[in-house]
Amino acid sequence: MPGALCYSVLVERHGQQERLDYSAEGWTGLPEDAVGFWKCHVPIPAARQVATTDAETLLKYFEQLVEASNPQQEKMCFVLALYLLQRRRLRLDGSHERDGVEFLELSGSRGEGPFEVRDQQLSEAEMTQLRLALDQQLTAGGEAA
């Protein structure tokens, strides 16, 4: 599973070197024939599908999320807003603070909006996970939901 801890071991068997990978739960220690080992995290694949989805589809999905104002979707809405800012389909008009919470003020590059999105203060790991989830939603037809 992406992001999970794993152990990799290099062993020598029958004159050949072989790599063995173990989950953290399956790790019982070094095998007798181990040459070396390392501990790492399974890489999180980059979200590629979002980059190929057109900005108009992403903006429509963003508008649905903003209108629904569903607290469970606020983080996804924020990530989508950042992506649309990067693609220059949204503009940052400013920001304001309300009750100690920062909000971004956005508008579409073709006059859509205005939109208000809560700044989620996400870590890099959370951003990556949300980009992957966005990719899955869009490839599964989530933009038409």
- Higher-pLDDT residue of 9 and 141 is 9
Instruction: Specify the pLDDT at position 68.
Output: 83
Residue given tokens 């040459």 in the structure block: 35
Give the distance from CA 138 to its chain's centroid.
13
CB distance 127 to 145 below 8 Å:
no
Interval 46-92: pLDDT, tens: 654 444 568 888 899 899 888 887 777 888 899 999 989 988 999 99
Phi, psi of 107 (to 5 degrees): -145, 155
Neighbour tally for 136: CB within 10 Å? 12
| Tokens coding 61 | 């999905």
Tell me the pLDDT of the chain averaged across its residues: 84
Q: What's the confidence (pLDDT) of residue 123?
A: 85
